[in-house]
Chain A
Amino acid sequence: MSHKKELIKFQIDGLTVEAEKGQMLLPAALEYGFEIPHLCYHEAVSPYGACRLCLVEVTKRGRTMMTTSCNYPVDAGLDVATNTENVQRARQMILELLLARAPHSEKIRAMARDAGVEETRFRVIEDADDCILCGLCERVCREVVGANALTFVNRGDRREVAPPFGDPIACIACGACVYVCPTDCIKMKEEGDERTIVRWKRTLKMQPCQSCGKPFAPVFQLNWIIERAQLPKDFYALCPVCRKTKKG
């Protein structure tokens, strides 16, 4: 049985659009060029609805409600409004809250400026670590990398993302969380033959390339990949650059 995509039609800001039934609203709208701000959504991982910035007004069977578009499955006949006064007001409030929580984040400050928010009325957290608990790092580590090094810890105002027992033994220092973090609160540095993910306090020795001698990736990470993918033991003897030149 072949999988048949069922396309449905609905409206975004008066424009009739088509999308696969069950697809989430945000990616469908982005594909059509609608600008909906978002921080916790990434196409590589499942939607989570944490940052609340992708709020839109959805009218279904005559009833209108405000909802996050990243985790709202599209349906035939929906009428979506992405930039109403209500939506703008809600987004401004969310941005004010985010500004207080992550005052150093350039991305959030730029978003706030775009939305007409100059400053926050809320108490700015002193020495904030800029984490907005969007969970992208945790999702990318679990769903994409599969290292399962990170998790949400505690609840309510003590909630944070951290390795279990604060001990990052499962972290392969791949840097996926660094890449995906919308507020740049996870930093990575390489010094000599060591790579460190600063936020998780994970430092790993890197393997030197057998040809050029430059350290290129953590030994722990390479062994982890070799074991999982059942690759030959010397698969990662060369760094990506030398590998290419040797082949070509």
Chain B
Amino acid sequence: MTGAQLENILKKHDYQKSSLLAILQDVQALDNYLPRKTLEAMSQRLQVPLTQIYYLATFYRAFSLTPRGDHLVTVCTGTACHVKGAATILNTLERELAVQPGETTSDKKYTLETVNCLGSCALAPLVVLDGHYHGRMVGTKVLSLLKGDKKDASKKS
């Protein structure tokens, strides 16, 4: 993130300390993570201690302090999804992408994450790919979902 981009975001929120969370969301949306340099610059510009910014950035799962991949794969491991076999799906994804939950593939394409419940238990087990919910997942289905996405991605680029 460049200084000008940060300045734009700050201006949009009127340099208000109370908008800190919204500012962080905008930074996360733009860069896919919260770069340390940006947070430090933000602390300077808003006169907010870095501790307060870091507190928020580590509290919410929506924020990431390490770069995320182009695609975010989230496996729900809530009670209903767990009972319906979320662990198997997570295992399949871990093997296919060769990452642990919270990590990003070396080609920076995929980030694998888990979530504790999305409130869509009727669709269990649930996998979310870039904000789109895919219910009733099984190991094979999740692989074709990824492959389909790979096709889509190649089409786009």
Contacts of B52 in A (CB 8 A): 148, 151
Contacts of A151 in B (CB 8 A): 51-52, 54-55
A165 with B51: in contact, given A154-B58, A155-B58, A155-B59 (CB under 8 Å)?
no
CB distance from B26 to the nearest CB of A (A): 20
Q: Are A148 and B50 in contact (CB under 8 A)?
A: yes
Contacts of B65 in A (CB 8 A): 165
For A166, the closest partner residue in chain B by CB is B54
Interface residues on chain A, number (Cβ under 8 Å): 14
A 130-173 binary contact with B (CB < 8 Å = 1; else 0):
00000000100010000011111111000000011100001000
Contacts of B109 in A (CB 8 A): none
Contacts of B17 in A (CB 8 A): none
Contacts of B55 in A (CB 8 A): 151-153
Q: Are A164 and B59 in contact (CB under 8 A)?
A: no
From 46 to 82 in chain B, residues with beta carbon under 8 angstroms from any chain A beta carbon are 49-55, 58-59, 65
From 91 to 132 in chain B, residues with beta carbon under 8 angstroms from any chain A beta carbon are none
Question: Which interface residue of A142, A150, A155, A165 has the most chain B CB atoms within 10 A?
Answer: A165
CB distance from B32 to the nearest CB of A (A): 19
Tell me whether B12 is interfacial, beta carbon within 8 Å.
no
Tell me whether B141 is interfacial, beta carbon within 8 Å.
no
Q: Are A148 and B49 in contact (CB under 8 A)?
A: yes
Chain B interface SS verdict (over half): helix
Kindly state the separation between the CA atoms of A204 and B51 in the bound complex, as whole angstroms.
20
CB distance from A50 to the nearest CB of B (A): 15
CB distance from A224 to the nearest CB of B (A): 14
Contacts of B39 in A (CB 8 A): 164
Question: Which interface residue of A138, A155, A163, A164 has the most chain B CB atoms within 10 A?
Answer: A164
Question: Which interface residue of B55, B58, B65 has the most chain A CB atoms within 10 A?
Answer: B58
Contacts of A150 in B (CB 8 A): 51
CB distance from B77 to the nearest CB of A (A): 14
CB distance from B61 to the nearest CB of A (A): 8
Kindly state the separation between the CA atoms of A227 and B27 in the bound complex, as whole angstroms.
32
CB distance from A156 to the nearest CB of B (A): 10
A154 with B59: in contact, given A164-B50, A164-B54, A170-B50 (CB under 8 Å)?
yes
Tell me whether B11 is interfacial, beta carbon within 8 Å.
no
Kindly state the separation between the CA atoms of A153 and B50 in the bound complex, as whole angstroms.
12
Tell me whether B147 is interfacial, beta carbon within 8 Å.
no
CB distance from B17 to the nearest CB of A (A): 14
Tell me whether B36 is interfacial, beta carbon within 8 Å.
yes
Contact of B51 among A142, A154, A155 (CB under 8 A): A142
A residues whose Cβ falls under 8 Å from a Cβ of B: 138, 142, 148-155, 163-165, 170
B residues whose Cβ falls under 8 Å from a Cβ of A: 36, 39, 49-55, 58-59, 65
Q: List 16 A-B contacts (CB under 8 A).
A: A142-B49, A142-B51, A148-B49, A148-B50, A151-B54, A153-B54, A153-B55, A153-B58, A154-B58, A155-B59, A163-B51, A164-B39, A164-B51, A164-B54, A165-B36, A165-B54
Given contacts A138-B51, A148-B51, A164-B51, 15 further A-B pairs with CB under 8 A are A142-B49, A148-B49, A148-B52, A151-B54, A152-B59, A153-B54, A153-B55, A154-B58, A155-B58, A164-B50, A164-B53, A164-B54, A165-B36, A165-B54, A165-B65
